[in-house]
Structure 1
Amino acid sequence: MKRALTAAVAVALAVTGCSAAGERAAGPVEITIWHGQEDESAKSIEKLVARFNQTHRDVRVRTESGGATADGMLPKITAALASDAYPDIAYLYGSWAANVARSPKVADLSEHVKDPAVGWTDFWANEREAVTVQGKVIGFPAVVDNMVVLYNRKLLAKAGVTPPEPGWTWADFRATAKKTTDASAGVFGTTWAISGGEEAVWGLWPMIWQAGGDILSPDHKKAVFNSSAGQRSLDLLRAMTIDDKSVYLDSSPAEKGQKLFESGRLGLFMSGPWVLPDLQEAGIDYGVAQLPGTDGNHETVSGPDNWVVFEHDERRVKAAATFLSWLTAAEQQLVWMTDTGSLPIRESITKLPGYQDYLKKYPGIDVVSANLANAKRIRPPTTKYPRVSSFVADAIAQTLLGKSDAKTALDQAVAKTDAALAVPGS
């Protein structure tokens, strides 16, 4: 999915001056980080690394691109691990954690994060869950987000629709999308991706969770997304698409949703905080609301990303943990957030004096930030998740294109998922 999300940054930390057993090493420990970030995000991380190097004498951090942005970091890291040319730290999507953790070269920071100075419990619970695989802490939280609904104030006013209120429902969402649709003007109520990627399923999960369903069984051995909750959720999207004709089906791998919203052709757009700087630049008059709810439940979906640490030797792992503890501290994170529009990865950040200035800089970010309280679950931490996602994405496309009903499409996706989950391997 677009974790679309901000561009990713690759950072590597290489150690020099190895000491003999029992001797103190000469000079600082050097580590490399592959941050995978671009544009303002890249400038911000480089600035923070320079600040760390100026204030810490025992550790020196070197940043590198790693030859990839965040989207392409997994294959780069996989190849680097095979050739022993891997960094000390890399920015990796949280959904990759289960796959990455299979490598014996991934460090275990479980003991490091117990240090009170780290403030581990200050991170949001879903972030800690995303960076922990089978009890092994593989790094530090890097970025957290969540899904909200962006709405075009002018289109809603033109259609005579009241902006979303805190207690709005999916029935309200459907009604608003239908009223703001104007086919003759090329305006749609909302959009849904059918290109087969994570973007297609990203919005379905919270609908299922809110209705009391889930993606997989607790032991991750069976798929359960074809429950009544799953069927009702997909049926709603089908009705909006086929009956109301209020949904623009986005079949482009490049995902046109944001561009359509920026050009004033979408009334409602389900997305995340990463689009706010672009919307400001585009000059669109937008508002932000939490997702519609079911029986008062407004649970959303979140995709935390991680700074994963790789093991070269004990000194470098310790140095990496020292740097990440500093980088993810509230003061440094507020700098990063103000530069990039990212959300607070620690609850304590919201108590800092400069937090209000951050909120003013990004209109609507206050709603997205507060919505972190509704981000209660993460996608299943299993190596099979990418296949699960692709099966469900296909089921969504078949249903919204009118080639299948929701039950049949989801049942078929469950059968494929169960077969994949039954194959040995974590």
Structure 2
Amino acid sequence: MRRALAAAAVVTLVVGGAAAGCGGGGGTQGEQASGPVEITIWHGQEDASAKSIEKLVDQFNRSHPDIRVNTESGGATADGMLPKITAALTSDAYPDIAYLYGSWAPNIARNPKTADLTAFVKDPAVGWNDFWASERQAVTIGGNVIGFPAVVDNMVVLYNKKVLAKAGLQPPKAGWTWDDFRAMAKQATSAKDGVFGTTWPISGGEEAVWGLWPMVWQAGGDILSADHKKAAFNSAAGQQALGRLRAMAVDDKSVYLDSSPAEKGQKLFESGRLGLFLSGPWVLPDLQAAKVDYGVSPLPGTNGNHETISGPDNWVVFEHDERRVKAAATFLAWLTAAQQQLVWMSDTGSLPIRESITKLPGYQDYLRKYPGIDVISANLANAKRVRPATTRYPRVSAFVAEAIAQALLGKSDAKSALDQAAAKSDAALAVPGS
């Protein structure tokens, strides 16, 4: 379930220009006025997640006779949903709701068929402020709310208890630093046994930059300037972050450079050949299935700041007519309410998208079902920012991913690699419409 990592790797698709207006598709308000409002959701889920969403939709349909929700996969998994929606929006064959990665929001918000739910979420019954701040940011573009939060995650450090014990290491302690992380990774590395301290993707995708941003933020840096017109990641904070990773890879040789992308690193962790693994809640079911003896820790910190990164996903609403938009918003308010979300979380291992979920009686059962999820859930408080809401972010990410690969392979120093990526990013950001 590496959804947050794959999100920004998709080539930027501009969905505004080809749209045919706001009134398209699937029946008119007059045609539906005499019966239940029928809406369609493209959920893009697989396996346990697909079964869970189907179960919840059935429950909603039974309890809401005035609305009928029809579920479809959309003909794509979550990774492939943006191209499907982009194509559908050029005709009348688009759904009322679709599951879309948060980093796609700037693109999709430009389409005139994307609904504005800003007024709807102001209803106190929705409990908008109960969602985490990073989720509200991800679904709000240019001041307009385009849907509801669907899933939230964050990055933590998973550690293999057996690997650390064999190296004579204790699990990470509260307040640990990136210097501690480097020292532990070096000590856990054993060339003789084929064991690495940690891993880093060099595949050129978003998974390569995903872990760099928290290090930059913790040190007081940022990804882009406030107006999104210039790169900021090549600041002293960025150079320090990438410089540390380069030293681990080139000097300590404690980093397995994963070009799979990011697939081999997890397999090494599961097989007892990796000590520390930066990842998130989506891998816990795999680790349990592989019977890995693992622990979970928040990210190392800088000067006491343990900020992490979150990749919220959205249920985005598209406009056919007023009744259908209202029905879609009503359904999503129900689906994202605490009780329904606890069902979804228990079925899938997802994190709570609302703070109030953590106070429900069944929440403790959920924590027991997924060992370590309590640490990841609490770590949502350290997820204070999301990636920049600009359609040019995928290109920026690709440039930085290339810089990371060059540095970790020893082909460039951190400053030169980041400066080159910044120059390319500035040129991309200067293009009108970004």
TM-score bracket, shorter-length normalisation: over 0.9
Q: Among residues 347, 353, 357, which one is paired with 1:345 in the alignment?
A: 353
Contact 1:17 1:26 in 2 (8 A): no
The aligned counterpart of 2:419 is 411
Amino acid at match of 2:200: W
Shift of 1:83: 2.0
2:253 counterpart SS class: coil
The aligned counterpart of 2:89 is 81
Shift of 1:257: 1.6
Amino acid at match of 1:63: T
Amino acid at match of 2:57: V
1:269 partnered with 2:274: no
Structure 1 gap ranges (5+): 8-13
Contact 1:4 1:274 in 2 (8 A): no
Shift of 1:166: 1.3
Q: Aligned equivalents of 1:26 and 1:261: distance in 2?
A: 57
1:2 partnered with 2:2: yes
1:19 partnered with 2:30: yes
Amino acid at match of 1:294: T
Structure 2 gap ranges (5+): 8-24
Q: Among residues 49, 54, 60, which one is paired with 1:46 in the alignment?
A: 54
Q: Aligned equivalents of 2:286 and 2:342: distance in 1?
A: 20
Q: Among residues 167, 174, 179, which one is paired with 1:159 in the alignment?
A: 167
Shift of 1:256: 1.5
The aligned counterpart of 1:10 is none
Contact 2:155 2:308 in 1 (8 A): yes
Shift of 1:15: 5.9
1:192 counterpart SS class: strand
Q: Aligned equivalents of 1:35 and 1:254: distance in 2?
A: 25
Q: Aligned equivalents of 2:337 and 2:261: distance in 1?
A: 36
The aligned counterpart of 1:71 is 79
1:169 partnered with 2:180: no
The aligned counterpart of 1:286 is 294
The aligned counterpart of 2:10 is none
1:366 partnered with 2:339: no
Q: Among residues 194, 204, 209, which one is paired with 1:196 in the alignment?
A: 204
Q: Aligned equivalents of 1:16 and 1:386: distance in 2?
A: 35
Q: Aligned equivalents of 2:313 and 2:179: distance in 1?
A: 32
Q: Aligned equivalents of 2:64 and 2:178: distance in 1?
A: 51
Q: Aligned equivalents of 1:255 and 1:199: distance in 2?
A: 10
Deviations 1:42-81, CA, capped at 9 Å, x for gaps = 0000000000000001100000111100000000100000
Shift of 1:6: 11
Note the 1:98-113 alignment, pairs <5 A: 98-113=106-121
Task: Tell which has more relative contact order, 1 or 2 (C-alpha 8 A, sep 6+).
Answer: 2
Q: Aligned equivalents of 1:325 and 1:384: distance in 2?
A: 31
Note the 1:124-139 alignment, pairs <5 A: 124-139=132-147
Deviations 1:337-360, CA, capped at 9 Å, x for gaps = 000000000000000000000000
Shift of 1:19: 2.3
Amino acid at match of 2:273: R
Contact 1:77 1:86 in 2 (8 A): yes
Q: Aligned equivalents of 1:235 and 1:125: distance in 2?
A: 31
Amino acid at match of 2:174: P
The aligned counterpart of 2:407 is 399
Q: Aligned equivalents of 1:286 and 1:255: distance in 2?
A: 18
The aligned counterpart of 2:21 is none
Scaled by the length of structure 2, what TM-score is found?
Answer: 0.94
Q: Aligned equivalents of 1:241 and 1:63: distance in 2?
A: 46
2:226 counterpart SS class: coil
Q: Aligned equivalents of 1:56 and 1:311: distance in 2?
A: 21
- Flag the 1:137–1:49 CA change in 2: closer, same or farther, 3 A: same
Amino acid at match of 1:2: R
Contact 1:17 1:29 in 2 (8 A): no
Deviations 1:84-138, CA, capped at 9 Å, x for gaps = 2110000000000001111000000001101111100100011001000000100
Q: Aligned equivalents of 1:15 and 1:195: distance in 2?
A: 41
Q: Aligned equivalents of 1:19 and 1:74: distance in 2?
A: 30
Contact 1:15 1:29 in 2 (8 A): no
1:184 counterpart SS class: coil
Amino acid at match of 2:30: S
After superposing on structure 2, the runs of 4+ consecutive aligned residues of structure 1 that deviate more than 2 Å are 1-7, 14-20
Deviations 1:153-190, CA, capped at 9 Å, x for gaps = 01111111110011100011001101111112111000
Q: Aligned equivalents of 1:67 and 1:61: distance in 2?
A: 17
Q: Aligned equivalents of 1:273 and 1:6: distance in 2?
A: 15
2:263 counterpart SS class: coil
Contact 1:344 1:350 in 2 (8 A): yes
Contact 2:207 2:262 in 1 (8 A): no
Q: Aligned equivalents of 2:431 and 2:127: distance in 1?
A: 39
1:142 counterpart SS class: strand
Scaled by the length of structure 1, what TM-score is found?
Answer: 0.96
The aligned counterpart of 1:252 is 260
The aligned counterpart of 1:215 is 223
Q: Aligned equivalents of 1:207 and 1:120: distance in 2?
A: 30
Q: Among residues 96, 105, 118, which one is paired with 2:126 in the alignment?
A: 118
The aligned counterpart of 1:95 is 103
1:334 partnered with 2:345: no
Deviations 1:136-160, CA, capped at 9 Å, x for gaps = 1000000000000000001111111
Q: Among residues 367, 377, 385, which one is paired with 2:385 in the alignment?
A: 377
Contact 1:197 1:393 in 2 (8 A): yes
1:422 partnered with 2:430: yes
The aligned counterpart of 1:11 is none
